[in-house]
Chains A and B, each alone.
Chain A
Amino acid sequence: MRLTVLLVAAWELLGRLLLDAHDANFVPMPSGVAVELFAVAGSGELWAALWRSALRVAVGGSVGAALGVLAGALGASGRAGAVLRAPLALLRPIPPIAWIPLTLLWFGVSELQQVVILAGATFHVVALGVGDAARRVPEGLVAAARNLGAGVGLTTEVRVRAALPGVLTAVREGFAVAWFVLVAAEFVSAAQGVGVLVLEGRDLLLPARTFVGMGALAAAGALTDWAVRGASGWLVRWT
C-alpha cells in the first residue's frame, strides 16, 4: 500500500514540477484526474455511464452464464456430451471480441448486439468451467451415495452439490470476462457507457477522463465480483 501512495505522490510532484498548464492536460496528474472525476460525477455522466454498462453486463452475463451452466452440465459426460462439446470447442478459440463486427452487421448498433456479445463471451467461459467441475466430481462420492440406497434423483443432487463450488467459480470468471469484453464492444459502437467515457478521453483530448473511466471500470468489476461471490455464498448456504 505504501508503495502505491508513494508512486501517486511522486507522480503528482513530478507533474507539477515538469509540466506547464498546457501539458498538464496531455499527461494528467492525480489532481487533474480527481478534478475530472468530480466533474463527471457531478454532471451525472458517470452514473449514467455506469448504469448503462452495468445493465448490459448484468443481462448479457446472466443469459450467457445460464446457458453456459446448461451446456457445461449437458456436455460433461456421455456420448451426447461429446457431440455437444465438439462444435463448442471449435468455436471457442475465436476471441469473443472478434465477433463484434459480425454482430454489428447482423444486429446493427443496438443494445441487443452488446448483450449478444457479452452472452457469448460469458457462455464459453462458464461452459468450460462447469464441464470441468462436473467431470471432477469424485466418482467415489456418487458410488457411496448409491451404496447407501440413493436413487437417480439423489445421486444427481450429490453430483450437483459436489460440483457447485466449481460452477460458481466459473460464473465469477464469466462475469470478469464480460466486463473485459464490454469495454471493447462499447469502444467499437456505443453511445453511452464506461467504455465510452474512456474513449471520450481520447476524442476530447482529455486523458484525465480516460483515467476516470479506467477507475470506474476497475471499481465496477470489483463490485460485480463481490456481488457474484455474495450471491453464490448465499446460494451455497441455502442448498
Chain B
Amino acid sequence: MKRLAALGWPALGVVTLVLLWVGAALYMGKPHVLPGPWAVAETMFSMRGPLVVAAAKSLSRVGVGWLAAAAVALPAGWAMGAVPALDRELRALLSLLRPIPPFVWLPLLLLWVGIGEPSSWMVCFVAALFPILAHARQGVAETPVALAAAAENLGATGLHLWARVRVPAALPLTFTGLKAGWSLAWMSVVAAELVGADGGLGQLILDSRNLARPDLAMSGMAVLGAVAAVTGGLLGWAERRVAE
C-alpha cells in the first residue's frame, strides 16, 4: 500500500503536466503552434520509421565518438593519475581546450574534413574526451596510497599492480567519467546536427521548424529524451554490475 502511495505522488505530478499541456493546446486552438498530446502521439506513430532511422544515426555517432574517446582518455587519464609529472605538463593544455563547447569544432571540421560521418565522430570524440580523462585521472590519483602500498608490500608490481589494484580502485570515478562523457557527447551530437551534420535526430527536429511542424519537433524531442534516459540508465546499470 505504501509502495502504491509512493508512486501516486509522482504520477500526480506527471498527470498535472499533461493536463496543463492539454489545456494550453485546447485554449490556443492552433495545432500548428502548440499541438496537443494526441497530435504528437499520432505523429510519433506515423513517423516512426524516420524517427528510428534518425535515432540510430545519432546514436551511432555518439557511440563511435565515445568509444574512441574512451580508448584514448582511459589510458591517458590513468597514466596522468599515476605520474604527477605527466599530469602537470598536460594540465595547462587541457584546461585551455576544455571550455570550448565540442560542437564549436564542427564548422572547422566541416571545412577541413568535409561533410560526412567523420566530422560528427570527431565532435563526439572531443565532447567525451575531457570528462572521461578528468575522472579517470582523479580515480587513480585518489586511490588511497595505503592500498597501493599494501599491494606492493604483498609483492604486486608493474602490470599486475595496475590490473589488479589500481584500475579496479579507480573504477567508480572512471565510470562516472564515462557516463558524463556519454551525456556530453549526446548533447554535442544534437547541437552538431542542428548546425551542419547530415541526418540524425537533431536535423529532424530542425527540419520540423522549417516545415512548421511542432508536432514533429516534439516527437523528435521525446525520442531524444527517451534514448538519452535509456542509454544513461544502461550505463548506470553497467556501473552497478561492475561495482560488485
What residues make up the interface of A, taking CB atoms closer than 8 Å to B?
A: 1-4, 7, 26-27, 79, 82-87, 89-102, 104-106, 179-180, 183-184, 187-188, 195, 198-199, 201-202, 205, 207, 210, 213-214, 217-218, 221-222
Contact = CB atoms under 8 A, between A and B. Distances in A.
A202 B111 contact: yes
Given A26-B111, A85-B13, A183-B101, A95 B190 contact: yes
Nearest to A91: B225
A62 B13 CA distance: 26
B190 A87 contact: no
Contacts of B90: 3
A105 B212 contact: yes
Interface residue tally on B, bucketed by range = 35 or more
A207 B108 contact: yes
A140 B49 CA distance: 55
Contacts of A198: 104, 107
**Consensus secondary structure, chain A interface:** helix
A101 B16 contact: no
B47 to A, nearest CB: 15
| Among all A-B residue pairs, the 3 with the closest Cβ atoms | A86-B10, A101-B209, A86-B13
A157 B90 CA distance: 44
Nearest to B112: A27
A218 B100 contact: yes
Contact of B206 (A91, A92, A101): A101
B9 A83 contact: yes
Contact of A222 (B99, B201, B209, B220): B99
B191 interface: yes
Interface stretch (B138-146, B169-177, B226-234): B226-234
A183 B225 CA distance: 21
**Consensus secondary structure, chain B interface:** helix
Contacts of A1: 92
B10 A93 contact: no
A101 B206 CA distance: 5
Contacts of A106: 33-34, 214
Nearest to B194: A188
A93 B227 CA distance: 9
A213 B106 CA distance: 13
Given A187-B191, A195-B104, A205-B111, 7 more contacts: A84-B13, A86-B10, A97-B202, A180-B187, A202-B107, A207-B111, A222-B99
A214 B105 CA distance: 9
B110 A202 contact: yes
Interface string B112-140: 10000000000000000000000000000
A100 B217 CA distance: 10
A79 to B, nearest CB: 5
A95 B108 contact: no
